[in-house]
Structure 1
Amino acid sequence: VNNFYKQGLVQKSDVLNADVQLNTVESALSKATSNIENASEGLNLLAGNPQDKQSLYSTDSLTQEIYGFENAALSETRSDIMAMKTALNASKMMVKSSNMALLPKINAFGSYQFNDSKAFGFNKNSYMAGISLSWNIFSGNQNMSKIKSANYTTDKINKELNQFVDKSRLELNKTLRDLNDLQIEIKKHDTSVAQATEALRILNNRFKEGLVSTTDLLTAQAQLSQQRIALAQAIMSYNITKYYTELLTSNY
């Protein structure tokens, strides 16, 4: 642009617009570099690495990871659901234990003795056997209160389990719809990027011939950058949603 300005082909305003665009790109690049450093330090903290270790995670190419979600279904053997089922079974055992406390307790006992004047004669023997029955009838109200409390806890856990499963199923359905919407959005952004690229190519050729202004060219470049960023954000959102869908349908 400066060369065109020296040749009198563009105006001073075109040079200033080009400088503004350059400063904007440099500022965005600096911010992106800082974000990479912040993310690297956060990952080091999660991994338990020392914070004084200067290690940056390199950025990779952002590609869409296609997920076949046609037959996706909520797995009730997922670890968090199984944990709630285990708690429900334990609560049911507490109810059974409380009910057993109402019944009388029966204990059987027995003994056998060997008696003889001579060692190891075994000619005079005796035995004793019996059964003991115990029943605490004075703690009936206390036991009934325990049974009611255990039943209430069991019902509460059962309702929480059913609600959690229903909520997880709704969340899965929402996530699948989000994946479908993001797939459509990615296709639209792909088309927009292709169109913006072609428009920039045409304007760039016309700019070299002096048929369009620098402002038009910068506008086309900015539009292409915006479409590329929108496409990258859509792909990133798709991949994150895809991983979350795998978590919801996982058996672990």
Structure 2
Amino acid sequence: MNREQISRLAHADHPIAAPLDDESVRRLLERGLPQGDSRVLDLGCGGGEWLLRALGAYPKLRAEGVDVAEGALARARESAAARGVGDRLVLHGEDAAEFTSPHAFDLVMSVGATHAFGGLLPTLAAAREHLAPGGRVLVGDGFWAQKPSPEAVEMLGELTDLPAMMDRVTADGWTPVYGHISTRQELDDYEWAWTGSLASWALDNPDDPDHCTALTTAHTHRVEWLRVYRDVFGFVTMILRPTSE
């Protein structure tokens, strides 16, 4: 069972692959898309849920997504067709960090995918390359809500606290115009959904050769969440504009 398969099963009941509830997603898209006829790009789109919700809410919107996970892109295409928005969605199976496009975008998104670029600032640098004049970036990343243990740092990487993150973003030439800090309920709901969906699949498929791997992965993740990072990890989703065009 590879990482893409685990992610697909773990996000079955939480298709927004980040700790955000439906209302938070709706509000962020509303703030990020002041005009309904915009062109949107999602770098590291996975199953494309952000794009699908944007397309469903804005009938004149056109969207593109980039991801290396072909299985996730296939599911995105199927979902787009089922929701009647497939004619306005283009998906690219390639490395988001290497993606180029002949046109610019009014909104560039990358939520929970900064690892694909090597961190938050490289993600913003990549987004800037695709941004139209007056455009916005919607980006989501983790931060330390409290001082982490060495084990948490080893597990989740060299994050900063939220004020330091804002300092880095503004020093890099961006101005935050809106943001959402995931609530405790959003963070917990996401983790319960991740571990629960994967464990449920394993229990429902006892004869599958991946049964034990899925069950063990869900158990390990749940223990790490509860014992290592639950009380110190936070997640923020920001809408940014270039400080100068």
TM over 0.5: no
Q: TM-score, normalised by structure 2?
A: 0.20
- Larger helix proportion of the pair: 1
- Larger strand proportion of the pair: 2
Higher relative contact order (CA 8 A, sep 6+): 1
The structure with the larger Rg is: 1
Q: TM-score, normalised by structure 1?
A: 0.20
